[in-house]
A and B are shown apart, each in its own frame.
Chain A
Amino acid sequence: MKQIRNFSIVAHIDHGKSTLADRFIQRAGLIEQREFRDQMLDNLDIERERGITIKSNTVTMQYTAKDGVDYELNLIDTPGHVDFTYEVSRALAACEGVVLLVDAGQGVEAQTLAHLYAALEHDLAIVPVINKIDLPGMDLDRIREQIDSELGLDSDDVVLCSGKTGQGVDELLEAIVTRIPGPTGAEDEPLSCLVFDAHYDPFRGTVVAFRVKNGRLKPGDVIRFMANKSTYKVEEVGRFKIRRVPCKELVAGEVGYLIAGIKTVSDVAIGDTVTLEARPCAALLPGFKEVKPVVFSSVYPISSDDYPGLVDALAKYKLNDASLIYQKDSSVALGQGFRCGFLGLLHLEIVQERLEREFDQSIIMTMPSVQYRYTLQDGKQVVVDNPAYYPDPGLIEKSEEPYIRTSIMIPERYMGAVMTLCLERRGENSTFTYPAPGRIEIKFDMPLAEVIFDFYDRLKSVTQGYGSFDYELIGYRESSLCKVDILVNGEPVDALSCMVHRDRSRQRALQICERLEEEIPRQQFKIAIQGAIGGQIIARTTVSAFRKDVTAKCYGGDITRKRKLLEKQKKGKARMKMVGQVEIPQSAFVAVLKTDGD
Chain B
Amino acid sequence: MLRPGLYVHVPFCRTKCPYCDFYSECAPERIPAYLGAIEREAHLRREAHPAYDTLYLGGGTPSSLSPDELATLVMGLRSALTLEPGAEITLEANPADLGQPLLDALAALGVNRISVGVQSFDERELRFLRRRHSVSQARAALRRVRHQGFASLGVDLIHGLPLQDWEPWRQNLEAALDFEPEHISCYGLTLDEHTPLGQAAKAGEFELPSEAVQAELYLRTSELLTRRGYEHYEVSNFALGPAHRSRHNQKYWHGEPYLGLGPAAHSFEGHSRSWNHRTLDAYLAALDAGRLPMQGFETLDAGQLRLEELALGLRTVEGVSLQVAAQNPGAPALLTRLEAEGRVQLLPDRVLPTPRGFLVADAIARMLA
Interface residues of A (CB under 8 A from B): 523-525, 546-560, 562-563, 566-567, 569-570, 573, 578, 581
19 residue pairs bridging A and B, Cβ less than 8 Å apart: A524-B364, A546-B211, A547-B211, A547-B215, A548-B188, A548-B215, A549-B361, A549-B362, A550-B359, A554-B253, A557-B260, A557-B268, A560-B275, A563-B308, A563-B311, A566-B362, A566-B365, A566-B366, A581-B337
- With CB as the reference atom, state the residue of chain A lying closest to B255: A559
Segment 340-368 of B: residues with Cβ below 8 Å from A:
341, 343, 358-366
Q: Is B203 part of the binding interface, using a Cβ–Cβ cutoff of 8 Å?
A: no
Q: Are B330 and A549 in contact (CB under 8 A)?
A: no
Q: Is B150 part of the binding interface, using a Cβ–Cβ cutoff of 8 Å?
A: no
**A559 and B329 alpha carbons, distance in the complex (Å):** 27
Number of interface residues of B (CB under 8 A): 51
Residues of A within 8 A of B363 (CB): 523-524, 546, 549-550
Q: Is B333 part of the binding interface, using a Cβ–Cβ cutoff of 8 Å?
A: yes
Residues of B within 8 A of A566 (CB): 307, 311, 362, 365-366, 369
Q: Is B315 part of the binding interface, using a Cβ–Cβ cutoff of 8 Å?
A: yes
Q: Is B252 part of the binding interface, using a Cβ–Cβ cutoff of 8 Å?
A: yes
**A554 and B253 alpha carbons, distance in the complex (Å):** 9
Q: Are B330 and A578 in contact (CB under 8 A)?
A: yes
**A17 and B275 alpha carbons, distance in the complex (Å):** 56
Interface residues of B (CB under 8 A from A): 7, 9, 22, 58, 187-190, 211-212, 214-215, 218, 235-236, 249, 252-253, 258, 260, 264-268, 273, 275, 298, 304, 307-308, 311-312, 315, 330, 333-334, 337-338, 341, 343, 358-366, 369
**A19 and B22 alpha carbons, distance in the complex (Å):** 53
Q: Are B360 and A551 in contact (CB under 8 A)?
A: no
Which interface residue of A549, A551, A556, A581 has the most chain B CB atoms within 10 A? A556
Q: Are B365 and A554 in contact (CB under 8 A)?
A: no
Q: Are B268 and A549 in contact (CB under 8 A)?
A: no
Q: Are B252 and A548 in contact (CB under 8 A)?
A: no
A559 in contact with B359 given A547-B215, A548-B214, A581-B333 (CB within 8 Å): no
Residues of A within 8 A of B311 (CB): 562-563, 566
Residues of A within 8 A of B268 (CB): 557, 559
**A551 and B253 alpha carbons, distance in the complex (Å):** 13
- With CB as the reference atom, state the residue of chain A lying closest to B264: A558
Residues of A within 8 A of B307 (CB): 563, 566-567, 570
Q: Are B366 and A556 in contact (CB under 8 A)?
A: no
Residues of B within 8 A of A549 (CB): 359-363
- With CB as the reference atom, state the residue of chain A lying closest to B5: A557
**A558 and B265 alpha carbons, distance in the complex (Å):** 8
Q: Are A547 and B214 in contact (CB under 8 A)?
A: yes
Residues of B within 8 A of A578 (CB): 330
**A553 and B237 alpha carbons, distance in the complex (Å):** 10
**A272 and B236 alpha carbons, distance in the complex (Å):** 74
- With CB as the reference atom, state the residue of chain A lying closest to B190: A552
**A288 and B226 alpha carbons, distance in the complex (Å):** 82
Apart from the given pairs A549-B359, A550-B362, A560-B266, 16 other A-B contacts in the complex at a CB distance below 8 Å: A524-B338, A524-B363, A546-B211, A547-B214, A549-B362, A550-B235, A551-B190, A553-B236, A557-B252, A557-B265, A558-B275, A563-B307, A566-B365, A567-B307, A569-B366, A573-B369
A557 in contact with B360 given A570-B307, A581-B337 (CB within 8 Å): no
Residues of B within 8 A of A525 (CB): 337, 341
Closest 6 CB pairs of A and B: A557-B266, A547-B215, A549-B363, A552-B188, A550-B361, A552-B187
Residues of A within 8 A of B189 (CB): 552
Q: Are A554 and B187 in contact (CB under 8 A)?
A: no
- With CB as the reference atom, state the residue of chain A lying closest to B217: A548
Q: Are B260 and A548 in contact (CB under 8 A)?
A: no
- With CB as the reference atom, state the residue of chain B lying closest to A525: B341
**A547 and B343 alpha carbons, distance in the complex (Å):** 12
Q: Are A548 and B334 in contact (CB under 8 A)?
A: no
Q: Are B366 and A547 in contact (CB under 8 A)?
A: no
Within the complex, what minimum Cβ distance (angstroms) separates B317 from chain A? 14
**A558 and B369 alpha carbons, distance in the complex (Å):** 20
Within the complex, what minimum Cβ distance (angstroms) separates B141 from chain A? 22
Within the complex, what minimum Cβ distance (angstroms) separates A566 from chain B? 6
Q: Are A553 and B187 in contact (CB under 8 A)?
A: yes
Within the complex, what minimum Cβ distance (angstroms) separates A27 from chain B? 53
Residues of A within 8 A of B338 (CB): 524
- With CB as the reference atom, state the residue of chain B lying closest to A567: B307
A548 in contact with B304 given A556-B22, A560-B298 (CB within 8 Å): no
